[in-house]
A = this chain, B = another copy of it.
């Protein structure tokens, strides 16, 4: 059966995104220096060959274990789930050929017809909650895995449903001092994880946790 997993970059102080990185300030990365902070969090990914090819950022890039990790993670994804805020940001910044190449289930109160992008990305707008979205995503993934893409509040909803099988966290040595915390609003008892793999690189510590 499909696994449900999260794969995100996290600052050392626990933030998925710095303060100021909101739709309102999307075109002003200098606002509260959110662009520079985001770059410090995620800079490692932009130099990986697989990521560059997937986002059409040009040839070249690293081909070591981090690149292998990104390929493995990307290829296992059969469907994505995301929140409306993340979608709204992406709708403004993804290329025409959106970088998912799977069905993407967007949790929203907005009613909207599916939105098909070239390259195999199909956005579905789900109005009946996270469990319904997960059911549709599992069906669509056809044996591959379901990625909960974000944002933080959506990940928290699925954490609290107890359905997240794996957490993949790339912990960067940067302190944001504020922003969107990944781990907040967790209900007790929290799910239990064990460390499955640690990939140690200078730019980030890539941690994979598997639910017990």
Contact = CB atoms under 8 A, between A and B. Distances in A.
A187 B177 contact: yes
A13 to B, nearest CB: 3
Interface stretch (A111-119, A127-135, A168-176): A168-176
Contact of A175 (B178, B183, B207): B183
Per DSSP, chain A at the interface is loop
Copies of the protein in its oligomer: 2
Interface residues of A, number: 30
A166 to B, nearest CB: 12
A24 interface: no
Interface of A: 12-14, 171, 173-178, 181-183, 186-188, 190-195, 198, 200-202, 204-205, 207, 209
The 8 closest A-B CB pairs, nearest first, are A13-B183, A175-B190, A198-B200, A177-B186, A14-B14, A173-B193, A173-B195, A177-B190
